[in-house]
């Protein structure tokens, strides 16, 4: 009797080990638990005291002076210096997740390997520059101290002296940043990425291979094939690591697709590689990990204006663009329409991946959406800040406009950097808040598809309970893992408080998980390329409708984001704008 009950229970729950969606959740959960142990058990020494002291100093200085004093900035820097990733255990593990690095045309090998003698030569060549930069920073600090003392002697009532102090403090900060960059070059260390990539490849192959075994496929064939996909992914990182590829915003995603594409459309992807060409398996696992970095707490970081520019404008643009695609452009594929709409309105590639997985779009549709987004982003990233400069807009408004419209986060930071530090900080923060939307967006898309799009008309007259079961069957289960990770980490973040969480989550688990996720997504996009036929892809672009949809949606996005940012930052909340300008 008990044996039979046990067998029943076993067979009842055996589906939890037989499907890809559940394996994505299990693998994601194991990695998340490991990362929590690694970082939460090893906080930096005196973390709480340093945070409390720094906050007390900033509070006191903010009450004392009408500008950010030297003590204020040093307290802020001291707090920012606390990083979970600096713990030795975390450093050693993270080392194995490193991707091929940045290189320039004169030395491609630098992406994978730097010898001790080369590192030493680079350090020695930079040493003099560093010494000069250090001396310049000390000199700038002395001037800043002098100017601040003069302003203080006048009780901070003399606006000319206050302005002079602000100018000197800004010059000191710039000199300090230059010295810090010079220090990095002067302390160049040798590395060998190949020696860390091989163990990583073995671990990932075993991890995904075990899942495949439970799903009823051959683990041996998967293990044989995996290195080939891994090599394509590594080469994609290599191509995306060129300094100009980075500057153009052409990251590994595009190169992974292109490299796979070249193989599949020339010699054809060899059959023995196909067992490891598992786009959805890698994407879903990567998305469960991504869920742990979707922290709802960050939504209010810039106050109500940030929420309006992102969480109000973005859904309006997404829904309107989707409607436009369906009703006006009459896009032949609703999934392609949704992926492009999400990609353009929310946050580029991250939204495209989440939306494609949630509505089960075809890999060709995801490829097309990502390609369009990368192309337009490369242009918008430079054109938008130049236009904002020409218009002479307020940097906070310009930054918010860029943050709400340019697709990828890296491109937003780059565009903001072209405008200046205030615009960069605002743009990046707005984009980050928008990034957080992808969790809710994926859930809504999955629910909408299960309830409205993937409906079987023959089952329209089912009872409520049967209909609910139908919806559950169609719902992509990994989305629950994605949302679950987000909820758990949001609660942990709240429990730790912003400052503690910044050290152990933002500069701990998130950074750690980010390195691993890059590999998962590179494997996914390499798989897409390896399994895509050029003729198939061309079919989806027929008539240019995807590009027209993107351009129309983006134009609407640009207009609406500007209007909302202007109303919020310039009219309704000028106080927040003034604080950000400090």
Partner 1 sequence: MVAIREFLSIPGKGFKISKSISLVLSLVTLYLFVSVGLPFLSNVSGFSKEHQLIIDEKIEAGAWFYIFVEQIRDIEPRVTNSLKYTPGMLKDGQ
Restricting to residues 224-263, which ones interact with partner 1 according to CB under 8 A? Answer: 224-225, 239-240, 242-255, 258-259, 262-263
**What character string, x for contact with partner 1 (CB under 8 A) and - otherwise, covers 94-133?**
--------x--x--x-------------------------
The answer to whether the beta carbons of residues 111 and 99 sit under 8 Å apart is no
Query: Closest CB to partner 1 among 197 and 432?
Result: 432
Q: What's the closest the beta carbon of residue 294 comes to partner 1, in angstroms?
A: 10
Check binding of 408 to partner 1 (CB under 8 A). Answer: yes
- Map the footprint of partner 1 across residues 7-46, applying CB under 8 A: none
Does residue 212 belong to the site contacting partner 1 (CB under 8 A)? no
Window contacting partner 1 (CB under 8 A); options: 69-77, 110-118, 121-129, 327-335: 69-77
Q: Which of 476, 506, 475 is nearest to 490 (CA)?
A: 506
- Inter-residue contact 293 to 512 (CB < 8 Å): no
Q: Other C-beta atoms within 10 Å of 534: how many?
A: 12
CA 356, 362, 365, 366 torsion-angle sign = positive
The tokens 């869920």 sit on which residue? Answer: 291
Return the number of the residue (55 or 95) whose C-beta is nearest partner 1: 55
Which residues ranging from 336 to 375 are in contact with partner 1 (CB under 8 A)? 347-350, 374
What is the closest distance, in whole angstroms, from the C-beta atom of residue 579 to partner 1 in the complex? 4
Q: Does 391 bind partner 1 (CB under 8 A)?
A: no
Which string of x and - marks every residue 517-546 that binds partner 1 (by CB under 8 A)? Answer: xx----------------------------
Q: How far apart are CA 220 and CA 531, in angstroms?
A: 20
State residue 505 phi and psi, 5-degree precision: -105, -60
**Contact, 352 vs 343, CB < 8 A?**
yes
Which string of x and - marks every residue 427-446 that binds partner 1 (by CB under 8 A)? Answer: -xx-xx--x-----------
Interface map 282-301 toward partner 1 (x if CB under 8 A): --------x--x----x--x
Rounded to whole angstroms, what are the CA distances from 148 to 65, 141, 163? 10, 10, 10
**What token pair was written down for 504?**
């152990």
We find the least distance from the C-beta atom of residue 67 to partner 1, in angstroms, to be 5
The rounded distance, in Å, linking the Cα atoms of 71 and 63 is 12
Q: Which residues have C-beta within 8 Å of that of residue 398, sequence separation ≥ 6?
A: 385, 388, 419, 423, 427
For partner 1, the binding residues in 154-193 under the rule CB under 8 A are none
**Closer residue to partner 1 in complex, CB, 216/575:** 575
Residue 411 or 450: which CB sits closer to partner 1? 411
Q: Work out which of 195, 494, 563, 579 binds partner 1, going by CB under 8 A.
A: 579
State the nearest-atom distance from the C-beta of 10 to partner 1, in Å.
35
Task: Provide the sign of the torsion angle of the four alpha carbons 447, 452, 453, 454, taken in this order.
Answer: positive
Contacts of 435 (CB under 8 A, 6+ apart): 294, 347, 350, 409
Alpha helices in 392-437 (DSSP H): 395-405, 409-419, 421-435
Q: How far is the CB of 53 from partner 1 (least distance, A)?
A: 13
CB of 543 to partner 1, least distance (A): 27
How far, in Å, CA of 484 to CA of 488, rounded? 6
| Out of 24, 31, 65, 441, the residue judged to bind partner 1 by CB under 8 A | 65
User: Shortest approach of partner 1 to residue 133 CB, angstroms?
Assistant: 14
Q: How far is the CB of 231 from partner 1 (least distance, A)?
A: 12
Distance CA 189, CA 123 (A): 8
Among 510, 531, 554, 561, binds partner 1 (CB under 8 A): 510
How many C-beta atoms surround the C-beta of residue 106 within 10 A? 6
Give the residue with the Cβ less far from partner 1, 324 or 367.
Answer: 367
**What's the CA gap between 276 and 224, in Å, rounded?**
8
Query: Which lies closer to partner 1 via its Cβ, residue 331 or residue 437?
Result: 437
- The residue whose two tokens read 């970095």 is 293
Q: Which stretch binds partner 1 (CB under 8 A): 145-153, 190-198, 455-463, 506-514?
A: 506-514
Q: Which residue has the tokens 């230059």?
A: 178
Q: Which is closer to partner 1, CB of 13 or CB of 244?
A: 244
- Measure the N-to-C terminal CA separation of the chain; round to a whole number of Å: 74
Q: Quick one: 108 or 334, whose CB is closer to partner 1?
A: 108
Interface stretch with partner 1, choices 116-124, 206-214, 467-475, 511-519 (CB under 8 A)? 511-519
Site for partner 1 contains 134 (CB under 8 A): no
Least distance in angstroms from the C-beta of 62 to partner 1: 4
**Region 462-491 residues binding partner 1, contact defined as CB under 8 A:** none
Among 11, 266, 458, 465, binds partner 1 (CB under 8 A): 266
Q: What number of chain residues touch partner 1 (CB under 8 A)?
A: 96
Among 279, 297, 345, 507, binds partner 1 (CB under 8 A): 507
As a whole number of angstroms, the distance between CA 401 and CA 37 comes to 39
Q: CA-CA distance, 358 to 439, in Å (whole number)?
A: 10
The answer to the question of residue 145 lying near partner 1 (CB under 8 A) is: no
Of the pair 105, 116, the CB lying nearest partner 1 is at: 105
Enclosing H/E stretch for 39: helix 20-40
Q: How far apart are CA 362 and CA 343, in angstroms?
A: 15
Binder of partner 1 out of 227, 303, 315, 484 (CB under 8 A): 303
What distance in Å separates the CA atoms of residue 399 and residue 46, rounded to the nearest whole number?
A: 36
Q: Is position 580 an interface residue for partner 1 (rule: CB under 8 A)?
A: yes
- The dihedral built from the CA positions of residue 254, 257, 261 and 262, taken in this order, carries a sign that is positive
Nearer to partner 1 among residue 70 and residue 331 (C-beta): 70
Contact yes or no for 60/323 (Cβ under 8 A): no
């Amino acid at each position: 009797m008990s044996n039979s009950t046990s067998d029943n229970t076993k067979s009842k729950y055996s589906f939890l080990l037989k499907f890809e969606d559940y394996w994505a959740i299990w693998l994601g959960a194991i990695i998340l638990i490991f990362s929590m142990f690694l970082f939460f058990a090893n906080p930096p020494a005196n973390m709480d005291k340093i945070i409390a002291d720094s906050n007390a100093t900033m509070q006191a200085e903010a009450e004392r002076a009408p500008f950010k004093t030297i003590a204020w900035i040093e307290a802020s820097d001291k707090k920012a210096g606390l990083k979970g990733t600096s713990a030795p255990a975390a450093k050693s593990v993270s080392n194995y997740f490193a991707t091929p690095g940045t290189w320039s045309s004169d030395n491609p090998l630098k992406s994978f390997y730097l010898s001790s003698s080369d590192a030493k030569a680079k350090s020695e060549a930079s040493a003099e520059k560093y010494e000069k930069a250090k001396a310049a920073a000390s000199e700038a600090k002395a001037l800043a101290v002098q100017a601040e003392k003069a302003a203080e002697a006048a009780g901070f009532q003399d606006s000319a002296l206050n302005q002079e102090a602000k100018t000197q403090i800004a010059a000191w900060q710039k000199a300090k940043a230059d010295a810090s960059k010079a220090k990095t070059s002067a302390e160049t260390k040798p590395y060998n990425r190949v020696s860390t990539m091989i163990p990583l490849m073995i671990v990932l192959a075993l991890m995904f291979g075990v899942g495949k075994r439970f799903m009823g496929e051959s683990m041996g064939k998967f293990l044989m094939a995996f290195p080939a996909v891994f090599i394509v992914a590594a080469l994609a990182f290599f191509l995306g690591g060129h300094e100009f590829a980075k500057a153009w915003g052409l990251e590994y995603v595009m190169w992974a697709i292109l490299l796979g594409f070249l193989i599949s459309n020339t010699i054809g992807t060899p059959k023995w590689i196909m067992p490891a060409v598992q786009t959805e398996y890698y994407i879903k696992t990567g998305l469960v990990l991504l869920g742990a970095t979707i922290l709802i707490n960050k939504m209010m970081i810039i106050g109500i204006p940030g929420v309006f520019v992102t969480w109000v404008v973005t859904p309006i643009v997404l829904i309107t663009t989707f409607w436009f695609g369906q009703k006006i452009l009459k896009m032949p594929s609703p999934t392609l329409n949704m992926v492009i709409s999400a990609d353009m309105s929310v946050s580029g590639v991250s939204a495209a991946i989440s939306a494609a997985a949630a509505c089960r779009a075809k890999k060709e549709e995801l490829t097309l959406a990502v390609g369009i987004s990368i192309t337009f982003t490369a242009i918008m990233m430079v054109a938008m800040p130049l236009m904002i400069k020409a218009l002479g807009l307020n940097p906070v408004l310009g930054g918010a406009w860029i943050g709400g419209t340019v697709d990828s986060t890296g491109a937003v930071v780059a565009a903001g950097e072209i405008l200046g530090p205030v615009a960069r900080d605002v743009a990046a923060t707005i984009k980050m808040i928008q990034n957080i939307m992808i969790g809710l967006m994926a859930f809504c898309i999955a629910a909408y598809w299960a309830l409205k799009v993937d409906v079987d008309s023959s089952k329209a007259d089912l009872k409520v309970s049967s209909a609910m079961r139908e919806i559950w069957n169609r719902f992509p289960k990994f989305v629950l893992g994605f949302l679950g990770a987000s909820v758990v980490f949001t609660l942990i973040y709240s429990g730790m408080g912003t400052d503690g969480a910044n050290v152990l989550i933002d500069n701990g688990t998130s950074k750690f998980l980010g390195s691993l996720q890059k590999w998962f997504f590179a494997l996914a996009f390499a798989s897409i390329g390896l399994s895509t036929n050029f003729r198939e892809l061309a079919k989806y672009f027929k008539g240019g409708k995807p590009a027209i949809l993107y351009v129309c949606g983006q134009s609407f996005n640009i207009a609406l984001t500007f209007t909302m940012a202007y109303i919020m930052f310039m009219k309704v909340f000028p106080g927040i704008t003034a604080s950000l300008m400090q």
